[in-house]
Structure 1
């Protein structure tokens, strides 16, 4: 912490007119320190030992095609400590000019962050630079002077950093709160580099995700009554919070009437139309041209539409008709669900080489439907730029032949089978009979789902489903959580 090299006192006004250089020795030292940090992070990434059939496999030598890390909003398994309360953030202790058009902001918790002046000027949050209502930027970033330096800097009695920026005609005065500087300064602190790509504006509005197995999910079963859901914004907020936390939620006592599922979705998002229509009906109709879901056959664990450019984020299934099970007879057609994030996390911790293969190897998913062919590439486990698990793409029925180097084929199948074995383990499954009035909503890019077999000549079963974009769903959750604070 370079802040320890400076006196611990509050700077009232700093004059930036004087320029100074960093000596060659200091520059060399800073460069070497950066290299050491990078080397340390790289070493930690490969510290875990490999196990089982992967014990002789070095993940660094896997030469399958590496995809650009896929980053989508709203999905993360690790959570940063967060709060939106000003009292929970440290105050600014001092602001120290640095070389290369930057300054060091030192906080009273002994942490500090280096801010480039161009970054501070570009991110001024005043009404001249950011639209008050839409929060869209009004400042033209490409027109700013990359080498801009402030004229003066002041720390106000209430802890704000006020900077006067030079302008072509009129100087610009910008204010930066200590909360804002500390929040965004985390990405400039070496020890929190893993937060570089977090959505710092919304992550504190969402609960922590809970990864689950069968025992965990039954202890805190995520369900809500339809009456509570339609009672007002708090009911909607609670419903969306369950979906975000567990990836799945069940609504009880929903009127078993067609298109009610659309009315439910419209309370927090919009329906995403697909090649199957605005809604789709899962009714047993034995037909060689029909989708396998319309038969009574067993449907293995899968996520939907991995063959699309972006598979639907939220899936909802509303039970309109079903044979109720009795103590003596199980009619079949049970629904089952598995937390794909939990399985992927287990793989990362116990079989790191297998985890690496499934995150780095592209798999083509494809289908022919209604005279059209759909095809797209996804790794089975998708990570964001912080290496958090954000998506699962898994459907053995729609996987095309794997196109990878020969020496990667066997390791891939070992990894794929390990993942599948955990998915099919009964200790990881949530299994139940959907009855008329049940409505299940789940994150289609996290939760794998399926169905046990049944005899369509003896069982009457009708589910109506639809999809919605998950970012729309969680945006509604953010807004409701913000209003409730």
Structure 2
């Protein structure tokens, strides 16, 4: 049985976190969610807390009088940080509030009474993890007076440090490495498929390379054409998570065909671009497996659009702003499909802060549609002219030879790249002298982030 220690820590200066303005909340009805049994209505807590069982082990409460309040001060890193009682009650992760098996909450925020009051009772330590202990007066209906809230201190530390994220993202801008052709040529960015397939550490290595550079390669991926041409690329992607389906299918073929529905399905030169900008949920990652590489030409090219955008931010801030602000139309109207999106070339983590880290880029000239009708006349066309100049500078940067990593993908090689960062292109090839065939698939951002987060727990430092 784990040892659980309870201590009272001194409270110093006060910092307010999680203040919630509540004018009125109706008395919530008792909710079941995943509760198997009905609890008695909450009663007013006594002046001293009873000895209760919490998450297995028993611990004794302090004998100091309990002072309840709508705000609760908890010592974090030597500083008393003030939290709203509703905020802390809603964050409770005890087994009564969060189902141990499913990890789902057993109550709604609206179940918490607006006049709830809490009292910080100390810090518990279980299996090396410290948690704040809070007792309640006028708890949610269905929870007894013996209910005790526990919240990991590391969670409160993150909140007290001023975490303003509107969503959880496992992507860390500080881990990014902006690269050019020399950087990529110097990196050992190839991983053997057998190792990737059989060890999670190799998958972790690949995902970390994707996080930092947005580009990684596999070697010796088997040819599965005798059974299912998509089997090998499915194996590659499934080591990370489920494939992303689009109107092209779960997997698709990049080869020269008559009456192509996409310029990629020709033998022509294909410039640097992002795939599927015309979809609301543009796939985050693209995977291409070289099945046949017999045709002369057809070299693959990659460029770091984030590096180009960052260069513009430093050297031509007004042009960088044009890429952030100017709306560009992307569309696909062919083969019975109709898709259209308007988005800016550069998307920031915080669109209101021009110094914010770059989140995505959208650059796809082959699928760019006409601008909105008023774009050319708005401000006398000034915004359009600024964007035009910015797009020329951006194109010069991404296509400069020193910024393009070019290679001929041999049969059995596979590339995984961040479609919202790394632009890809292809040189013209001659299909009359041999076959060039790539198998493709997509992967969503959430799937990648989830897999990386769990592997970080095993292999991260």
- TM-score tier, shorter chain, comes to 0.7 to 0.9
Distance 1:175 1:427, change over 3 A: same
- 1:244–1:474 CA contact under 8 A, matched in 2: no
Deviations 1:400-429 (A, max 9, x none): 122233331111111222211111111211
Q: Residue 371 of structure 1 corresponds to which residue in structure 2?
A: 336
The verdict on how the C-alpha distance between 1:177 and 1:468 changes in structure 2, with shifts beyond 3 A counting, is: closer
Residue 298 (structure 1) shift: 0.9
CA deviation vs aligned residue, 1:158-210 (integer Å, no higher than 9, x gap)? 564321112257333212333221122222xxxxx6x433637x568x99232
Alignment correspondent of 1:11: 10
Contact 2:260 2:266 in 1 (8 A): no
| Conserved? CA contact 1:282–1:463, under 8 Å | yes
Deviation at 1:147, TM superposition (A): 4.6
1:232-381 to structure 2, matched below 5 A, reads: 232-257=199-224, 258-259=229-230, 260-285=232-257, 287-323=258-294, 331-381=296-346
SS at match of 2:242: coil
| SS of residue matched to 1:476 | helix
Number of the residue aligned with 1:95: none
Q: Given the alignment of the two structures, is residue 390 of structure 1 paired with residue 359 of structure 2, yes or no?
A: yes
RMSD: 3.0
Give the Å deviation of 1:211: 2.1
1:272–1:466: 8 Å Cα contact kept in structure 2? yes
Give matches, 1:64-103, under 5 Å: 101-103=70-72
Which stretches in structure 2 are left out of the alignment for 5+ residues? 1-7, 17-68
Q: Given that residues 240 and 474 in structure 1 are in contact (C-alpha distance below 8 angstroms), is that contact kept between their aligned partners in structure 2?
A: no
The superposition leaves residues 436-473 of structure 1 with CA deviations (integer Å, 9 ceiling, x where unpaired) of 11101111111110011222223421111111223212
CA distance in 1, matches of 2:267, 2:82: 62
Q: Secondary structure at the match of 2:431?
A: coil
2:144 to 142, 160, 170: 170
Residue 460 (1) aligns with residue 435 (2): yes
Counterpart CA distance in 2 for 1:273 and 1:160 is: 42
In the alignment, which residue of structure 2 is the partner of 1:181? 156
Work out whether residues 74 and 132 of structure 2, in 8 Å CA contact, stay in contact via their aligned partners in 1.
no
The unaligned stretches of length 5 or more in structure 1 are 1-8, 15-29, 31-99, 188-192, 325-330
Say which structure is richer in strand.
2
Aligned pair count? 378
Q: Secondary structure at the match of 1:138?
A: coil
Distance 1:112 1:382 in 2: 38
Q: Answer 1 or 2: which has greater helix percent.
A: 1
How far, CA to CA, are the matches of 1:199 and 1:112 in structure 2?
Answer: 26
Match of 1:399 among 368, 375, 398: 368
CA drift of 1:214 comes to 1.5
Give the Å deviation of 1:305: 0.7
Residue 113 of structure 1: how far off its partner (Å): 4.1
Q: Which has the higher contact order (CA 8 A, sep 6+)?
A: 1
Per-residue deviation, 1:233 = 2.2
Q: Distance in 1 between matches of 2:315 and 2:367?
A: 28
Work out the CA distance in 1 between the residues paired with 2:344 and 2:171: 25
